[in-house]
Structure 1
Amino acid sequence: MLTRKEFLRQSTALAVAGTLPGGLVAGTPAKRPNILFVIVDEWRAQAFGALGDRNAHTPALDRFRRQSVSFDNAVACLPVCSQSRASFLTGQYPLTNGVYITDVPLKPSGETLAEALVKAGYQTGYIGKWHLYGSPKGRYERRLSYIPPESRFGFQYWKALECGHDYNKSRYYEGDDPTPRYWPGYDAIAQTQDAVGYIQRASQTDQPFFLTLSLGPPHFPYTAPERYKAMYRDRPLDFRPNVPEALHGQAAEEMRGYYAAIAALDDCFATLMAGLEASGVADDTIVLFTADHGDMLWSQGLQHKHVPWDEAIRVPFMIRYPRQSRGRGRSVPAPLNSPDVMPTLLGLAGLPAPSGVQGLDYSPLIRREPMAAMPRSAYLAIPVSFADARAHGFAEYRGVRTERYTYIRSIKGPWLLYDNRKDPYQKHNLVDQPAMAEVQKACEAQLTLWLDRLGDQFLPGDAYLRRDGLGHYLEVQGGIKPVVSPWGDWRSTM
């Protein structure tokens, strides 16, 4: 097995900006499937026309859903950008991979997803938002910086930026050139076109490819090209019933930009799928569309993410692999989580997960095969009440989401319990109600199983910061700034 230093030295030597690198493993007996991994930012699971969201113009993704296996209870364990992305690449939960607050540099202890695929003979590429280089001073100081090869964790073709939200003047770095460049026009469109070019070139080689296309929208500031904004300028909007009426005006302004960006990305996805079809390798390519987390958009009276309600934690997870999915699209209720991305993709490619991976391989369900020891719940956690979460006055929490229930325990005790089947908008907190005692007990047992499995002691957040030398992040971000939700009731047990 290559050491990390040897691996990085070889993959760096093979990578040449703008060209396709050779593989590290010669003589692969059979070509493995290509993998196209599409990540969008803050696209909540509910925001699709096919799922009844009349605000969403998503014909291309609705069509893709009909061709895919959709995990309709997929969640982001920790619904923030860096944290989800670290779990995607490591197959580990945040307290294990160390990225449990935003902008902490990822320092993997084992092979990442891209490194494992390079070792198996893949050519790898990354286009778009990275957000794993981190800012060690805790002041977002490296968000526009050049990212050196050793911090790309196995990705060879490289056109990326750590983090930026000016989608009309979007910086990136290409290969090993530290000179900043700018995507022309709206970055998601240009990045998609670059991805199509990569696919066309990669499909002409004998190596399978693993390409990640990481698009920034529909993350705030909710902007899109003019033709998409025009679609929503005077359009009546539907509000989720858990958006307080007093906030409809503010919510509408943000929703117009959010859904305009979604419409733009749907067209980008149509372009991407057309390019994949034209390359002639669509049947041999796994395509995964997901998001790092969702967006509250004033549901529950809250603006963004970091919180355990469905609008923030539930994400789209649609995966298509014609060679193994056996037929038309279908829905799977299993509660898939962020760390499950890595082992599931490796499982579909016929590869084992590296040691240290905590996520589970859901590829048997995609192949219509039984899955051993499938969990009954997904684990949810905010280990440190930090940054925007602190601004909402939240304590640290742990919880589970089953196919039916959401149960959350704060550092102070049971906090939230929802019956998502009877109460899909999570307006009625049932925690500690006598009629729900058995359900709460069962959910608490599920949570205990997860805490034991992960070795999570559920300590106060500052204990983790002290343990890992990260106290300065909290100092830079400032203290707690409580706000009051217009709903009021769900905070009563905090």
Structure 2
Amino acid sequence: MLLGWVLLLLFSCSKKAELPTDRKPNVIILLADQWRAQATAYAGDPNVKTPNIDRLASQSINFRNAVSGMPVCCPFRASLMTGQRPLTHGVFMNDVQLDTNAVSLGKVFAAAGYRTGYIGKWHLDGHGRLQFIPPGERRQGFQYWKGNECTHNYNESVYYDNADSSRLIWEGYDAFAQTEDAIGYLTQNAEKEDPFLLVLSWGTPHAPYHTAPEAYRSQYDSAAMVLRPNVPDQMAGRVKKDLSGYYAHATALDDMVGKIRNSLTQNQLDENTIILLTADHGDLLGSQGAYKKQQPYEESIRVPMLYYVPSDLGGKPGPRNALMNSEDIMPSLLGLCNIPVPETVEGMDFSKDILGLEAIQDTLALITCVQPFGQWNKPRHGAREYRGLRTLRYTYTRDLNGPWLLFDNETDPYQLNNLIGKPEFASLSGHLDELLSRQLQETNDAFLPGLEYIAQWGYPLDETGTVPYFH
């Protein structure tokens, strides 16, 4: 009851959306794990097969410069849920808990009369990766629940069914079973008057790369993989093999996107349902000689960001250049649904840009690593805290010692030529550094050593520099 009054107070002094319709559309968020923006056919990848997503992209608003401002699982998910940056919501590492008092996406939609559902990977609870998350505040406003905290075992993986604390097992490949459950949710809610918000959160194409069903793995010949030019020659064999598995997961998810869309059509929901397809971060997969995420390179920070908004709701399909960031998703969805944006939100509402009413002119995004951990916690791997900017043309990052990376992404799309230290680019570097300083000041980011933030939030670290998690 108290939470309801708090939300009501926040809404009463919130930023109002001014959109042309009072209709409350349904919303489906399709969230993949570690799917880089470059790994779709519509984005130009010569290897991968994604016909359903390509079709969705052709009918959607495509934020082709979208970034994951802190390219790690939990930080992105917390920003998606709160519309806040990592140093505000405090989830700047994996396996820590999002504040149960957060003004979250599920709570705000529920307070606005939506039925809310969550299926799949959660990774915001911090009580152990295979532990039961009970109904209530730890589920952040989601009512229907078929989820797990986190697992990378995609075949017969653990989940929990609503209030049942028994460990259950998804039958077969979990992305398939989760999608079937989502289709059941759509069917059950098709004729109800109240709108719904449904999050379908898949664990793939995150590693392990070679566990998709054989029908998908057999579609890719590792020897035929075309590598990005920034993959070192000595890594080519390993990367080709891993790419073939990564793409197999991606094509399996592509089929699931097709199933979801078919279900929307069959249930006559397609004309009043917004679809957001995105990912929490990318995967270097050998680019820059590295794997996975955290680092400020394009393959790590860039994510798909497709908003399918039916024409009846005012959607204006086509590319958008503005750099949407993780914290911008929540206010943009609220804007599209005519739900006031709480004052706790730090992100920008892109809904008018999505509807073709007003182009967003803000063309930069902050990128951050508060404290490197896990596979990127060793100095010999280049690990470092950083703050940076991604503009339409440039990527600039600074570590604790000063300027670190500067790339011209227009002339050097694979980021092979670091311009830091080159006299002819000193003026540009200085300008971007000044712009970054201004952004950090505006966002109250003092850019301290990572361990100071660890101490501030009281997070424990193990010997790998990672917050420990337990099954």
Common fold by TM > 0.5: yes
CA distance in 2, matches of 1:348, 1:234: 42
AA aligned to 2:382 is: G
Instruction: Name structure 2 gaps, 5 residues minimum.
Output: 8-20, 467-471
Question: Is 1:213 paired with 2:200?
Answer: yes
Once the two structures are superposed, residues 150-199 of structure 1 have per-residue CA deviations (whole angstroms, 9 ceiling, x without a partner) of: 20000000000000011112110011110011111110011111111111
Tell whether the 8 Å contact from 2:69 to 2:365 is kept in structure 1 after alignment. yes
CA RMSD of aligned residues (A): 1.8
The CA deviation at 1:446 is 2.4
Who is 1:156 aligned against?
143
Who is 2:190 aligned against?
203
Who is 1:375 aligned against?
362
CA distance in 2, matches of 1:327, 1:228: 33
CA distance in 1, matches of 2:114, 2:288: 44
Who is 1:227 aligned against?
215
Q: Which protein, 1 or 2, shows the higher relative CO under an 8 Å CA cutoff with sep ≥ 6?
A: 2
The CA deviation at 1:360 is 0.6
Tell whether the 8 Å contact from 1:405 to 1:417 is kept in structure 2 after alignment. yes
Question: Is 1:270 paired with 2:258?
Answer: yes
Who is 1:147 aligned against?
133
Tell whether the 8 Å contact from 1:75 to 1:315 is kept in structure 2 after alignment. yes
Aligned-partner SS, 1:477: coil
CA distance in 2, matches of 1:42, 1:83: 13
Calculate percent identity across the aligned residue pairs: 44
Who is 1:104 aligned against?
96
Q: Which of 173, 179, 184 pairs up with 1:192? A: 179
Task: State the TM-score, normalized to the length of structure 2.
Answer: 0.92
Q: Which of 106, 110, 121 pairs up with 1:118? A: 110
Q: Which of 284, 304, 312 pairs up with 2:292? A: 304
The CA deviation at 1:371 is 5.1
Who is 1:420 aligned against?
409
AA aligned to 1:395 is: R
Q: How does 1:309-324 map to 2 (within 5 A)?
A: 309-323=297-311
Q: How does 1:348-387 map to 2 (within 5 A)?
A: 348-370=336-358, 374-387=361-374
CA distance in 2, matches of 1:178, 1:225: 29
CA distance in 2, matches of 1:332, 1:299: 26
CA distance in 1, matches of 2:395, 2:245: 29
The CA deviation at 1:431 is 1.3
Tell whether the 8 Å contact from 1:170 to 1:183 is kept in structure 2 after alignment. yes
Question: Is 1:457 paired with 2:446?
Answer: yes
Who is 2:12 aligned against?
none
Q: How does 1:341-490 map to 2 (within 5 A)?
A: 341-370=329-358, 374-391=361-378, 392-470=381-459, 472-473=460-461, 475-478=462-465
Tell whether the 8 Å contact from 1:404 to 1:420 is kept in structure 2 after alignment. yes
Tell whether the 8 Å contact from 1:66 to 1:328 is kept in structure 2 after alignment. no
Once the two structures are superposed, residues 219-248 of structure 1 have per-residue CA deviations (whole angstroms, 9 ceiling, x without a partner) of: 000121010011114661100000001100
AA aligned to 2:131 is: S
Q: Which of 116, 120, 135 pairs up with 1:128? A: 120
Once the two structures are superposed, residues 108-157 of structure 1 have per-residue CA deviations (whole angstroms, 9 ceiling, x without a partner) of: 5541011000000000000000000114xxxxxx1000001220000000
Question: Is 1:281 paired with 2:269?
Answer: yes
Once the two structures are superposed, residues 29-63 of structure 1 have per-residue CA deviations (whole angstroms, 9 ceiling, x without a partner) of: 96510000010001000011122211110000000
Tell whether the 8 Å contact from 1:97 to 1:108 is kept in structure 2 after alignment. no
Kindly tell me: are residues 437 and 234 of structure 1, through their superposed partners in 2, closer, same or farther at Cα, counting changes over 3 Å? closer
AA aligned to 1:202 is: N
Tell whether the 8 Å contact from 1:306 to 1:388 is kept in structure 2 after alignment. no
Q: Which of 157, 167, 181 pairs up with 1:170? A: 157
Once the two structures are superposed, residues 48-102 of structure 1 have per-residue CA deviations (whole angstroms, 9 ceiling, x without a partner) of: 1122211110000000000000001100011110110000000000010010011
Q: Which of 218, 233, 248 pairs up with 1:260? A: 248
CA distance in 2, matches of 1:108, 1:442: 40
Kindly tell me: are residues 448 and 155 of structure 1, through their superposed partners in 2, closer, same or farther at Cα, counting changes over 3 Å? same
The CA deviation at 1:404 is 0.6
Question: Is 1:69 paired with 2:61?
Answer: yes
Tell whether the 8 Å contact from 1:90 to 1:112 is kept in structure 2 after alignment. yes
Q: Which deviates further from its counterpart, 276-285 or 293-302?
A: 276-285
AA aligned to 2:2 is: T
Tell whether the 8 Å contact from 1:399 to 1:409 is kept in structure 2 after alignment. yes
Who is 2:73 aligned against?
81
The CA deviation at 1:268 is 0.7
Kindly tell me: are residues 403 and 109 of structure 1, through their superposed partners in 2, closer, same or farther at Cα, counting changes over 3 Å? farther
Q: Which deviates further from its counterpart, 266-275 or 320-329?
A: 320-329
Number of positions where the alignment pairs a residue of Structure 1 with one of Structure 2: 449
Tell whether the 8 Å contact from 2:68 to 2:302 is kept in structure 1 after alignment. yes
Once the two structures are superposed, residues 4-24 of structure 1 have per-residue CA deviations (whole angstroms, 9 ceiling, x without a partner) of: 38899xxxxxxxxxxxxxxxx
CA distance in 2, matches of 1:313, 1:164: 22
Aligned-partner SS, 1:70: strand
The CA deviation at 1:201 is 1.3
Q: How does 1:324-343 map to 2 (within 5 A)?
A: 326=314, 329-343=317-331
The CA deviation at 1:402 is 0.5
CA distance in 2, matches of 1:32, 1:478: 45
Task: State the TM-score, normalized to the length of structure 1.
Answer: 0.88
Instruction: Name structure 1 gaps, 5 residues minimum.
Output: 9-28, 136-141, 480-494
CA distance in 2, matches of 1:214, 1:110: 20
Aligned-partner SS, 1:416: strand
Question: Is 1:3 paired with 2:6?
Answer: no
CA distance in 1, matches of 2:409, 2:386: 19
Aligned-partner SS, 2:117: strand
CA distance in 1, matches of 2:241, 2:331: 39
Give the 4+ runs in structure 1 shifted more than 3 A: 5-8, 323-328
Who is 1:138 aligned against?
none
CA distance in 1, matches of 2:222, 2:36: 23
